[in-house]
Chains A and B, each alone.
Chain A
């Protein structure tokens, strides 16, 4: 009958072996890092859970402005979205491009409704707020090792909220509406 001390010792040895084994695996270079080879299911689940839990916690204290749905915000945010985001997150009637095919993880198609690209936080008021907070946080801070840059260092919070405002309406825009809202035009200078 093993004693409690022996049990703890065994756990300790297993942990040490695990750490050494993990270290050897990392240094072996055997894990495929190419973006054209998907993660295995365990790695994917771990990374996605880590990302989503981290963002949800960090974004939860973000104060959402009351005047998010205004025409001025749509015009400012639309032009910025077209210049900085559409290359990866697409525009109406465009289903994919070289970036969405080549990047891993593939950037979400933001012209689709959140539930269609797996980033819905629920349809009630609380879920909607969580989704808005999440979008603001991601635009401002970016996501490590995903290709998503942090726009916070170079863009004001107000400008980022304008982009969030545009994102709320983007899934319902037609190609023609998108073109009008996002075109900067020479007169806008």
Chain B
């Protein structure tokens, strides 16, 4: 009798622990995920963008995943890889033609 009473309690505890662990996984937020508006990058003032700036590098990384290079990012000549290192940034700088 006691076991029958305890089983639902154990099941509920195990379920609640499982769900609480899932709730904090980044993938849980994907349900409402919106795509980055990379088209907005075309309207930004490229002369004022510093390609060594991690913000700029992060935007490039994000948009390279989501945009067709030959289409949406037309007019922006970017290397295929973006790195935070100074050396890599310098290499990129020579590849940009803004």
Using CB atoms and an 8 Å cutoff, list the residues of chain A in contact with chain B: 69-75, 78-80, 83, 154-155, 169, 172-173, 176-177, 179-181, 183-189
Contact = CB atoms under 8 A, between A and B. Distances in A.
Contacts of B30: 184, 186, 188-189
Interface residues of B, number: 29
Nearest to A182: B36
Given A71-B54, A71-B82, A80-B26, A188 B40 contact: no
Contacts, number: 84
Contacts of A186: 30, 33, 35
User: Closest 9 A-B residue pairs measured CB to CB?
Assistant: A71-B58, A71-B57, A184-B33, A183-B36, A176-B40, A154-B24, A74-B58, A180-B36, A71-B54
B9 interface: no
A180 B41 contact: yes
B27 interface: yes
Interface of B: 20, 23-24, 26-27, 29-30, 33-38, 40-41, 43-44, 54-55, 57-59, 61-63, 65-66, 82, 84
A183 B61 contact: no
Main secondary structure of the interface of A (DSSP, over half): helix
Contact of A184 (B26, B40, B57, B63): B26
Contacts of B23: 154
Given A71-B82, A185-B33, A186-B33, A180 B26 contact: no
A186 B34 CA distance: 8
- Most B CB contacts (10 A, CB to CB) among A72, A83, A172, A184 go to A184
Nearest to B35: A185
B29 A169 contact: no
Given A70-B84, A154-B23, A185-B62, 14 more contacts: A71-B58, A71-B84, A72-B61, A78-B58, A79-B26, A80-B26, A154-B24, A179-B36, A179-B37, A179-B40, A180-B38, A184-B29, A185-B65, A185-B66
A185 B36 contact: yes
Contacts of B84: 70-72
Contacts of B37: 176, 179-180, 183
